[in-house]
Amino acid sequence: MSRADDLPERSGPPGPPARRLLLKGTLAAGALAAAPAVAHASVPAEPTARPKATPYVNPLVRNRADPHITRHTDGFYYFTATVPEYDRIVLRRSRTLNGLGGAAEAVIWRAHPTGDMGAHIWAPEMHRIGGKWYVYFAAAPAEDVWAIRIWVLENAHPDPFEGTWVEKGRIKTAWETFSLDATTFTHRGTRYLAWAQHEPGVDNNTAVWLSEMANPWSLTGPQVRLTTPEYDWECVGFKVNEGPYVLKRNGRLFMTYSASATDAHYCMGLLTAADDSDLMDPASWTKSPVPVFTSNGTTRQYGPGHNCFTVAEDGRTDVLVYHARPYEEIDGDPLDDPNRHTRVQTFGFKPDGTPDFGVPVADTAGART
């Protein structure tokens, strides 16, 4: 969703083995790492009920997973996401959310044929920082496709469809281990990075980490773990916490994240911190013991997750952006199934001020194919 430089604040290639299989016993040792992601948009002054209906067409964009939509001050919504081929970064824009579905799509960067950034181009996010555009994404060497790390592109042109996307390099965390799903935000004048990474010697696939940033492509350290898979619903298929994203509302920061394997068990969890707390202190964050957004057989949406937030065209209504599949059963590796579609729906807040995401809405009758 939009960040400080966008709008004012309000108070995962066919064929390879499963995404995280080779984490166990193959990752190097090291020290600690992590960071949350914050979404900016206008915020309701008081907690509001969840809107009863969504005006949006779903799915919004087919065959695009890990979606990221940001509304910039130029009036455009910018969209990027993971493509099923895992080989490029794409970008769309529209003055309306529904318009993104039919907007022309440009390829702004392609995977290298060999070497670093040659495979598994996953989960891009585009952010406006200090007058420049930055894209954070995960990639692996073409010759070692599961050695996935976080990389950064920069474009100084005001129009992200123009200019040159410069490769700023890899974000160096405390360990040389499987890492992905980076997002960035500012809070009280400090910029943070939040991401998912495997911690050496720990029996999980990924936890969510947080760190302050020296610049848009470097961490200052220290890095702290905010959440690790511990509940049953976070450990189905794989022990995963990934895809963090932050929403600032009602005097708090809400960090969503995704858990379990990327099939129908995929779901969203929630961390909460007071906006005047020390975000680098894990004790500042409270974790929901239950998932906050899950598959729904009635609406026939499965594996909702890897979300972000944006704001509706009215500049006030909060919008949840996520991917899901329209069926439960998958043949083979879920990562080889291309039908994770980008979806959007409005949401409100419970009486206690926490987000009320409801359930994934059903496909819109007559939606584009």
The helix (run of H) or strand (run of E) holding residue 268 is strand 267-274
Closest to 226 (Cα-Cα) out of 266, 260, 189, 199: 199
Strand partners of residue 6: none
Cβ pair 151, 121 in contact under 8 A = no
**Helix, strand, coil percent values for the chain (each to nearest 5):** 5, 45, 55
Give CA–CA dist 29/226, Å, rounded.
Answer: 19
Name the residue type at position 153. L
Residue carrying structure tokens 């209504």 = 317
Active site residues: 66, 242
Name the residue type at position 187. H
Examine residue 216 and say whether the peptide bond preceding it is cis (omega within 30 degrees of 0). no
Rounded to 5°, the CA angle 119-150-85 comes to 30
Residue carrying structure tokens 């979404």 = 39
